[in-house]
A and B are shown apart, each in its own frame.
Chain A
Amino acid sequence: MPSLKDLKNRIESVKSTRKITKAMQMVAAAKLRRAQEAAEAGRPYAERFNAVMGQLAASVGSSESAPKLLSGTGSDQTQLLIVLTAERGLCGGFNGNIAKLARYQAEKLIAEGKTVKILTVGKKGREVLKRDLSDYFIGHVDLSEVKRLGYADAAGIAQDVLSRFDAGEFDVAKLYYSKFESVISQKPTEQQLIPAKFDAPEEDAGSSTIYDYEPSEEAILADLLPRGVATQIFSALLENGAGEQGARMSAMDNATRNAGEMIDKLTIEFNRSRQAVITNELIEIISGAEAL
């Protein structure tokens, strides 16, 4: 039976924990709004880009001269998994879920006899994957110093990935991140980055505009494909950013509520113990008086 003093201390400590989680929830809510705005603002570019790339890929894609970024190296032996996670924890299962999906896929590929390489972006995913898959790590991108996510950050990662591709380090690259569906739901997603995949334009949509290309289709495609990699990484980072804050907000909301419940329980226990102490004292006094 804990003493009254102990209980009092515990109640105080849970109360301050509740204050912290409450504050974190509010901060996450504010950051979430900003992250959502950023994700929203990035959407027109990505949509346009993909539409144009879809058209280009459809007209050039099948030809022999298609760039390797589009047609692939003809093999899928070496796979690069790019795992995007948050830099900070305390956001529920957010990082864990992405890492879990990546680990599951990595183990499946290893079982199939493929060579797996892993590039991690974000500290938390790396920490989770380090336990089982650290032998496959080929690099890490640290974004913890980045205050506001910019396209330049994504371009840097893309450049790293592309130079590895040019050096023939891998055949297929896949991106793992979390799709922001709502504040309470973020879905871990796998997306193929290289060879590039674009939704083919709908044939019957009446969008049969025939474009002139300047310089040539091939030259444009060769110029745009590397940008496409950066664009996809950028949108994934933005989705992740919004998802992280959303996950943290709901995790902190839960934590705040749990702390509240715990305080209630401890307070009841505290009152009971106090009552028990008083009763005990009374019994002692009364039995002492009776003995005389």
Chain B
Amino acid sequence: MAMQFELVSPERKLASVEASEVQIPGADGDFTAMPGHTPMITTLRPGYLKVVSGSGTQEYFVTGGFAEVSAETASVLAERAYARADMTPELQAELIAEAQKAHETAGSDDSAKLLDDMTAGVALT
């Protein structure tokens, strides 16, 4: 049994594959969506998304957004998403710097959490 997995960013569709399981970094904790999962919608925190399909495992880094999971589909709408291979140290530093800057301008608890999540998420290599 497989589920249709889709990863879209505002600019383009990054992936659309049949997957057997998808690990998603939800705002309240990571979870794995498998076929037959109860329908749910959750927001994302920065972190790695792991897609297991017949042709192997792919990983993507997402900066935020939300995921819609149902029994047969898993759609991730990411604000920005990068394939694992594109995550260069420069890009990681850039993402952290952006979160840092956002935190300095906003100064709220939310932005502090985002910064922490970003730092932690990026470090998971």
Chain A interface (Cβ < 8 Å from any Cβ of B): 38, 41-42, 44-46, 48-49, 52, 56, 150-151, 154, 209-215, 219-220, 223-224, 227, 230-231, 234
Contact = CB atoms under 8 A, between A and B. Distances in A.
A151 B79 contact: yes
A208 B12 CA distance: 28
Contacts of B11: 38, 41-42, 45, 150-151
Nearest to B41: A211
B38 interface: yes
B10 A234 contact: yes
Given A45-B77, A220-B41, A231 B68 contact: no
B43 A224 contact: yes
Interface in B1-54: 6, 8-13, 26-28, 38-43
Contact of A213 (B42, B65, B70): B42
B75 interface: yes
Interface string B90-105: 0000000000000000
**Max chain B C-beta neighbours (<10 A), residue from A44, A214, A215, A230:** A214
B68 A214 contact: no
A215 B39 contact: no
A67 to B, nearest CB: 14
Shortest Cβ-Cβ A-B pairs, 7 listed = A212-B40, A41-B12, A214-B42, A151-B10, A45-B8, A211-B39, A209-B39
Contacts of A150: 11
B75 to A, nearest CB: 6
Contact of A220 (B13, B38, B42): B42
Contacts of B77: 45, 48-49, 52
A215 B28 contact: yes
A159 to B, nearest CB: 9
Nearest to A209: B39
B26 A214 contact: yes
B66 interface: yes
28 contacts: A38-B11, A41-B13, A42-B10, A42-B12, A44-B8, A44-B13, A45-B9, A45-B77, A46-B10, A52-B66, A52-B77, A56-B41, A151-B9, A154-B10, A212-B40, A213-B40, A214-B28, A214-B41, A215-B27, A215-B42, A219-B43, A220-B41, A220-B66, A223-B43, A223-B66, A224-B43, A230-B10, A231-B10
A45 B13 CA distance: 8
B60 to A, nearest CB: 15
B84 interface: no
A49 B67 CA distance: 10
Given A41-B12, A42-B12, A212-B41, 13 more contacts: A38-B11, A44-B6, A44-B13, A45-B9, A45-B77, A48-B8, A52-B41, A52-B68, A151-B10, A219-B43, A220-B41, A230-B10, A234-B10
**Max chain A C-beta neighbours (<10 A), residue from B6, B10, B43:** B10
Contact of A45 (B10, B26, B27, B42): B10
A51 B107 CA distance: 32
Contacts of A219: 43
Contacts of B43: 214-215, 219-220, 223-224
